[in-house]
């Protein structure tokens, strides 16, 4: 009985060790693939040569200008040439700033 339990325990330990080896090998493969991707991107950056401070600032300024232009185009500002919505007017006196319900002009009540 005790020998069977020891045998079963040893089998469980061997199986768990085999599962652990499989898991470790899959993690090592994933890690090597990720490090290869990082190494590849670093190589690509290095191939373009040295980036000076002035050139980097120029690139950043150009990117900011492009973003600002894109933002203004999305907003449809006054520069885009689009017509603006007309201001609302009172239907009684045709002035802006209020509506006919709050108009202060004198009304004539016909009885």
Per-residue pLDDT 10s for the chain (111 aa) are: 889 999 999 999 999 999 999 999 999 999 999 988 888 766 666 666 677 788 888 888 998 999 888 888 777 655 545 556 778 888 888 888 888 888 887 766 555
* Residue 23 lies in domain: 2-75
* Total structural domains within the chain: 1
Domain assignment present for residue 98? The answer is no
pTM: 0.34
Domain assignment present for residue 103? The answer is no
Domain assignment present for residue 34? The answer is yes
Q: What gap in Å lies between CA 84 and CA 22, rounded to an integer? A: 67
What per-residue confidence (pLDDT) applies to 47?
A: 63
Provide the 3-class DSSP secondary structure of residue 89. strand
Nearest to 95 by CA among 85, 106, 103, 86: 103
Q: What gap in Å lies between CA 6 and CA 3, rounded to an integer? A: 5
What per-residue confidence (pLDDT) applies to 68?
A: 87
What per-residue confidence (pLDDT) applies to 76?
A: 63
């Amino acid at each position: 009985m005790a020998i069977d339990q020891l045998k079963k325990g040893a089998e469980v330990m061997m199986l768990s060790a085999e599962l652990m080896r499989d898991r470790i090998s899959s993690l090592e493969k994933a890690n090597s693939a990720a490090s290869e991707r990082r190494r590849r991107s670093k190589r690509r950056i290095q191939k373009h040569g040295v980036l000076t401070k002035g050139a980097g600032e120029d690139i950043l300024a150009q990117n900011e200008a492009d973003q600002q232009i894109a933002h203004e185009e999305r907003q449809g500002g006054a520069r885009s040439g689009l017509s603006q919505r007309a201001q609302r007017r009172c239907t009684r006196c045709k002035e802006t700033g209020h509506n006919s319900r709050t108009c202060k002009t004198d009304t004539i009540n016909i009885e």
